[in-house]
Structure 1
Amino acid sequence: MTNNESLFKSLSPSKIDSSVEIQNWLSQFSINDQTFAKLLLSRLKFISRDKYSEWLNKTILSIIDKQFVFALYSVRKLSQSGNYPSYWGNDKQVIYRPGESQGSEDLVYSLIANLVRANKDRLLDHPSLDKLKSNKVRQYILIDDSIGSGERISKFINSMLKHPTFLSWWNLGWINIHIVSFSRFHEAEKKIITNIRGKDNAKQKIRKSSKIKFHSELVYHQNWIKSRWGENYEPLIEFCQAQKQIPPKKRLGYGDVFSNLIFYHSVPNNTPGIIWAKKSKSKWEPLMPNRTVPTWLIELLENNNDKIITTSKLSNELLNAIMLIKKGIRNPTSLAQRLNTDTQYAKNLLEHLKMTGLINEHSRLTSRGLDIFHQKNIISLQSWDYSMYIPNSWCAG
């Protein structure tokens, strides 16, 4: 695993301010809540289809061995209800896959097909039980985008084990499973192993935990939220929890995972619901409806040259930053405290102000910045304390 930040795209303050679509989404919040909404957006990590594809190809090629044949399967949700079917039909073939788009699964299917074409002697594409038997397959690679709670992957494996033939192979120790996901939570590993059929104690000849290996680019600890969301993650959690227009179970994402990783080809349901969820009969408009990343957002992320924002479009946040800089507050940490954000976001704001020519390299106002400071649209900074934060949606009236 390599924590390579070049894999990711993110939304800078200038990109957030320059996007009409994002501004429309932000307008659904109060002025105070917009600060937290923008901070949340800036902390999201986006990975493109190309980057994900490159990573997946590299990872699978590092797993396969010339002396073995590997079977590749895309992990998918098999049923909306609690009673999921066997993955194998009576004819020992993989059960029917719906014809309509399946989101991230479609991309994984395509990548698997390409890999198999290039490695026909070692890889099999979603093979049947008969084909597994004839090729004496012992190595299985199950592919998912990300693993949060681990529920989907454990149910998927159990659906494979519902067929007596596959179950017998599993009990005999003839199956070794490699679970490949770009990211996973460390806590999910134990849950997956626990929830899979069979026992995992020292009395077992072959413990089920020895049959499973995990491969990921990123491994998070669910309680180490600071590593994902930055130093001021607690107000962000309170902010998301307070959004009554979002169903309670979706406010922090599925299983309260509160992930910040988003794929161009799919928005995981363990990310904050405020960006993708919509309550029934609610007027609320999510930024990424139906858990998809809109084309305009991909174009915004891929634009390496941040759009110059004109004076008339400067946000209250930037105007407040100008006022603070004029008062001599130029240190990112001090700015963050006064603007109700975190240090990294404050650094990005300073870079944005430099790019627009409002401050110089020494973080002092230029003549253009001074002109804006003296204009009437400079607003007064409100006194704000994170420890006393009460989201706007909690307030009566």
Structure 2
Amino acid sequence: MTRNIAFMKSEATLAWIGQFDPTDQPLVIEMLQKMLLVSRNGFVERLIKLIRSKNGGHPVGLYAERELRSHGGRPNRLFKQSDRKPFRAAGAGPRPIDPFRAYDADVGSEGIVAQAVSELCRRFPKVYFNHPGPDQIRKNKIRRFVLVTDFIGSGDRVRKYLDAAWRVASVRSWWSARATVGMSFEVIAYSATPQGQSYVEAHPTKPDVSLVAPCPTIANIFSREKKYALQNLCAQYSPAARHLPSTGYGWVGALIAFAHGAPNNVPLIFFKKSPTWIPLFPERVTSDVRDHFTDEPETGEQLRERLKAMRQSRLSQSGLLASVDPQIRNLVMVLAALSRPPRTRQSVALQSGLTLSEVDSVLAKAIGYGWIDGRNRLTDRGQAELRRMRVDQFNLSGLPHETEDDYCPQQLRVPVSLSR
């Protein structure tokens, strides 16, 4: 495969691969090729775009997720509240950045997230409020509590932040009235693992979780055989003690790295060191390779490799992949991904390399064309179009003309003609 080309050819990456036995290197290379690498500009721009797309017309309180102090095994309350009934919350909101330990001034991913939140609040001061406290929430009638983070791995840190808010009596009162005048909870992240997202969604606040892109993991991107082989490989080469989870915190096995750092949910071979092991992301810092994290569209050759991985060898030879129109290329990739289960938007995004918003846009168009039904299954007409694509007989001029102003629904329903 040819994904992550510049990253794969970098001196640091090649040196890291060289530490593995030659018989193990092909599997290691495939793992690196399937990683989601996020550049600094791409991270900020897409995260802000996602937040803006969720504007529901009510004032929004934005909070950058970070590690919180705890006492007795529970996080401290996010807001101050009175000691006596009715336990009314008051005062300012939490600090966007506050080192977890007094002796350690290290700032993690919350720094770049807090900067993005601050930028949005300055640009749209009547819509977004920067870490508002109870007084500001009441004064500005803020109805949405939006927690922003870069990544949900195990979901523990996000749950802990939500727990800190849930411990405040006034917050629980606002939440109970969320259908009318109260407050709802949302979590917006660049990416998340399936288990981490499910764990967060199960929180008592019942937050709506939105992502830019799903996270590839050892478990969800490889076949069963290769999954077990990679898990064994991570354990065999793990530079840490045997009792530590070799595939990362929570045994997540995340395959993602940001320009600002790698999460602790990636396998330990990526960031732990030992006398005999040099990590690719030492102390989870990606500075040696982040210049190779690119936002450039994938080439026709890269798309062909993706299609071959979907068992679409014939379609991979289609001249449509040379189209300069990204909408056409995206359409080909999504229809190919939908030809076999699973057909969830997350699965389609992982296979196609598209963001979830790009997948949603293509799905909406495909339903409008009558190519898929409400369960994302190809209709007879969709199957016919896919066959035409395989033999380069797909007529691009037959598609309706669209502009950037065209309406794109966020929730898809079965068209009447297709549900009969």
- What TM-score results when the alignment is normalised by the length of structure 1? 0.62
Tell me the SS of whatever aligns to 1:156.
helix
The residue number in structure 2 matching 1:98 is 98
Tell me the SS of whatever aligns to 2:209.
strand
Q: Residue 80 and residue 249 in structure 1: after superposition, are their counterparts in 2 closer, same or farther (change >3 A)? A: farther
Tell me the SS of whatever aligns to 2:237.
coil
Please point out which of 275, 278, 282 is paired with 2:273: 278
Residue by residue, what CA displacement relative to the aligned partner does 1:55-86 show, whole Å, maximum 9, x if unpaired? 112111111133x1110001112148844222
Please point out which of 260, 285, 298 is paired with 2:290: 298
Contact 1:150 / 1:191 at 8 angstroms: preserved in 2?
yes
Q: How far apart, in 1, do the equivalents of 2:35 and 2:224 lie? A: 11
Please point out which of 169, 181, 185 is paired with 1:177: 185
Q: How far apart, in 2, do the equivalents of 1:162 and 1:15 lie? A: 44
Q: How far apart, in 1, do the equivalents of 2:185 and 2:48 lie? A: 17
Higher Cα Rg, which structure: 1
| Number of aligned residue pairs | 281
Q: Residue 242 and residue 184 in structure 1: after superposition, are their counterparts in 2 closer, same or farther (change >3 A)? A: same
The residue number in structure 1 matching 2:21 is 30
The residue number in structure 2 matching 1:313 is none
Residue by residue, what CA displacement relative to the aligned partner does 1:209-255 show, whole Å, maximum 9, x if unpaired? 3xx2121123469795236x898333222211222423443421221
Bigger Cα displacement from structure 2, 92-101 vs 102-111: 92-101
The residue number in structure 1 matching 2:157 is 152
Please point out which of 124, 141, 144 is paired with 1:139: 144
5+ long unaligned stretches in structure 2: 82-89, 100-104, 297-304, 314-420
Q: How far apart, in 1, do the equivalents of 2:263 and 2:252 lie? A: 11
Residue by residue, what CA displacement relative to the aligned partner does 1:128-169 show, whole Å, maximum 9, x if unpaired? 111111112111211111222222211111111222322332
Please point out which of 38, 45, 56 is paired with 2:47: 56
Bigger Cα displacement from structure 2, 46-55 vs 94-103: 94-103
Q: How far apart, in 1, do the equivalents of 2:129 and 2:199 lie? A: 28
Residue 10 (structure 1) shift: 4.9
The residue number in structure 2 matching 1:237 is 231
The residue number in structure 2 matching 1:45 is 36
Q: Residue 15 and residue 171 in structure 1: after superposition, are their counterparts in 2 closer, same or farther (change >3 A)? A: closer
Q: Residue 303 and residue 130 in structure 1: after superposition, are their counterparts in 2 closer, same or farther (change >3 A)? A: closer
2:227 maps to a residue whose letter is Y
5+ long unaligned stretches in structure 1: 1-8, 197-207, 305-331, 333-341, 348-397
The residue number in structure 2 matching 1:11 is 4
Bigger Cα displacement from structure 2, 119-128 vs 79-88: 79-88
Q: Residue 38 and residue 223 in structure 1: after superposition, are their counterparts in 2 closer, same or farther (change >3 A)? A: closer
The residue number in structure 2 matching 1:213 is 208
Residue 274 (structure 1) shift: 0.8
Q: Residue 130 and residue 291 in structure 1: after superposition, are their counterparts in 2 closer, same or farther (change >3 A)? A: same
Aligned-residue Cα RMSD (Å) equals 3.3
Contact 2:16 / 2:278 at 8 angstroms: preserved in 1?
yes
Identical-pair percentage: 22
* Aligned positions of 1:100-139 closer than 5 A: 100-139=105-144
Mapped pair 1:85 → 2:76: yes
The residue number in structure 2 matching 1:203 is none
Q: How far apart, in 2, do the equivalents of 1:111 and 1:69 lie? A: 17
Larger relative contact order (C-alpha < 8 A, sep ≥ 6)?
1
